[in-house]
Amino acid sequence: MSMMTLEITRHSGPARLGKFHMGEQKLATPNMFSVLTEAVDIEHDIYIASPEVKTKRTPIFVGSGSLNISDKIKIKKDNQILPDYHVGLNVPREMAEKSVRETLRFAENYPEHSAVIQGSRFGDLREECAEGLGDRPLFIIANGRRLIRNPRLLVDVVSSVRETVPPNAALYFPFALPHLFYVLAYMGVDFFDSAECILNARVGKILLPGPADMASLKELPCNCSVCVGRVPEDLLDFDLLLSHNFQEAVKITKEIRESIRANALRELVEEKASGDVGSMAMLRILDAEKQDFLEKYTPVS
C-alpha cells in the first residue's frame, strides 16, 4: 500500500494548503521539487530525478522514462512515477488517443503509483486519462512547458484535471517559471519544480522573478544571500546564478503558502499578474470562463 497522501488543511479559492505525507515525512504544500541531475544537487525538502541519477537524497520521486521506447520498465518502489506514452501538445487526435490508451494500459498493473496525465490539447482525452488512472497520490500534467504558451488551453486543462482527479491527490505542473507559480497554485496545483531555474541559469538568465539577461543588468535588484555584496558579473557563474534562481522559487512557494493561510492568495495573484502578460491572461480567462470552478471553492458568507 502506498504511504503517500495529501492532507488538505485550508483552501483559498481552488488553492490548497496541505501536508504531503511520504512515509514518516510531512511536506508543506504548495511546494517545489528540487530537480536532481548529474551536475545539479541543491538541498531542499523534496526532490525529483531520473533513474540514472544516483543520490541518497530523500524524500524523492523517481521518473521511469517513456513507453514509446519500451514497456519493459521495472517498477520497484512506490516513489517511482509510472512511465507514460510521450506525445507533443499539438499532435493529431489519433496520436493523443494512443498516448492515453498506452499510458492507462501500463498503469492498470500499478494502481497506487503516481502517474502522468496525457491527452495533448484535447480536453476530453485529458479527462479520460485522469478518470482512468483513478485514485493515486500524485498526478503529473504532461506538456507543461508547451501549455504555458497557450493560456486558454492551460486554464482548461488544469481546471478540468483538478476537478477530475480525487481532491486528496496532489497535482504537479512541471517546467513552470516561478513567477507563474502564483496563478497555477490559485488553480489548485500543489507541486512545481526547479527545472526552469536550471535552464535559465544555463543561458545566463536571472529570475527576478521573471527571467532577465544578466548581461543587461547594471546592478542586482535583489537582497538574497547570493546577491548581497555582489555585482552582476559575479552571477555569470552558473552555480551562483542557479542558487539565486532556486532561492527565488523557494521564496515564491513560501509566499503562496502564507497567503493561503491568510486567505489572501487571490489578492496576491492579482498583484503579481499585473506585471506579467501570461499570468494576467490566465486570470482573466479564469474569471470569464471558469466561474463555476472558482465559486465551488469560495465560501458564501
Q: What is the pLDDT of residues 203-255, one digit of tens each?
A: 999 999 899 999 899 999 999 999 999 999 999 999 999 999 999 999 999 99
Measured between alpha carbons, how far is 205 from 35 in angstroms, rounded to an integer?
A: 18
Q: Give the dihedral of Cα atoms 66, 55, 79, 36; nearest 10 deg.
A: -60
The structure's pTM equals 0.96
Grid cell in block for residue 282: 490566465
pLDDT of residue 70: 73
Domain boundaries, the chain: 4-295
Q: What percent of the chain has pLDDT over 90?
A: 91
Return the number of other C-beta atoms located less than 10 Å from residue 56's C-beta.
Answer: 5
Pairing of strands 4-12, 15-22: antiparallel
Residues 159-187: pLDDT tens digits?
Answer: 999 999 999 999 999 999 999 999 999 99
CATH topology of domain 4-295: TIM Barrel (3.20.20)
Give pLDDT tens digits for 28-83: 999 999 999 999 999 999 999 999 999 999 999 999 889 987 777 889 889 999 99
Distance CA 82, CA 111 (A): 10
pLDDT at position 250, please? Answer: 98
CA distance 133 to 139: 9
Average pLDDT over residues 12-34: 96
Average pLDDT of the segment spanning 88-98? 97
pLDDT in tens, 265-282: 999 999 999 999 999 999
SS3 string of the chain?
A: CCCEEEEEEEEECCEEEEEEEECCEEEEECEEEEEECCCCCCCCCCEEECCCCCCCCCCEEECCCECCCCCCCCCCCCCECCCECCCCCCCCHHHHHHHHHHHHHHHCCCCCCCEEECCCCCHHHHHHHHHHHCCCCEEEECCHHHHCCCHHHHHHHHHHHHHHCCCCCEEECCCCCHHHHHHHHHCCCCEEECHHHHHHHHCCEEECCCEEEHHHCCCCCCCCCCCCCCCHHHHHCHHHHHHHHHHHHHHHHHHHHHHHHCCCHHHHHHHHHCCCHHHHHHHHHHHHHCHHHHHHCCCCC
